[in-house]
Each structure stands twice: as C-alpha cells, then as structure tokens.
Amino acid sequence: MSAATVFRVLADPTRLAVLEIVMRQEMRVTDLTARFAVTQPAISQHLAVLRESGLVKHRRDGRQIFYRADLSGLRPLFRWIDEYRIFWQDRMPRLRTLLREMKDE
C-alpha cells in the first residue's frame, strides 16, 4: 500500500474518527454507530475500507464482531514522512544560512 492510499482512506472525516476511536479501545459496529449521525451500513462500509487498507482488524466473538486499530497499516505514512524528514534535515542548515545572508543584506 502507498502513502497516497492511506491519505485517501483517512481523508474522510468519519473514517478518521472511527480509526481514532478504535485506536483507544476495541468496539462493535453498533457501539460505533451510536457515536455518529450515520447509519450502521455506513459505519460498516467505513470499517470495510479501513480493514482493506490494513488500518483495522476484527475478531469474532459469537455473533459479535469487534474492531481494533492495526497501526502497522500506517507504515507507508511513516516511510513517507521519514523521507521528507531526511530531506529537510539536509536542507535546513542551508536555508538558515540563506535567511541570515538575506537579513544581512
């Protein structure tokens, strides 16, 4: 999965909120639905997208399905951020020097 895919998945505010909730505790669809002004099928669809993207896992206990965050799905974002961190760490000293030179002029 790419960072762009993870960004696209998390761009939906409801989906992001669902992920934030299941990061704190495991929840059933019915528990999640009670927290939002959307239908149970809508929450189920958001969970399906999160599951397909590797951001959420589920477990079955009888007829109940419990969802929890799987933050390993964020690895593409971590790699993307790390690339830019390295990029800026290399360029920041030069930027500081340039800004000082511009200030002195």
Interval 35-71: pLDDT, tens: 999 999 999 999 999 999 999 999 999 999 999 999 8
What's the whole-model pTM score?
A: 0.78
Tell how strand 64-69 and strand 56-61 pair up.
antiparallel
User: What is the number of other CB atoms lying within 10 angstroms of the CB of residue 95?
Assistant: 10
Q: Which residue has the higher pLDDT, 9 or 89?
A: 9
Output the six-digit token pair for 58: 């589920």
Whether the Cβ atoms of residue 65 and residue 58 lie closer than 8 Å to each other? yes
CATH architecture type of domain 3-104: Orthogonal Bundle (1.10)
| Token couple for 13 | 């505010």
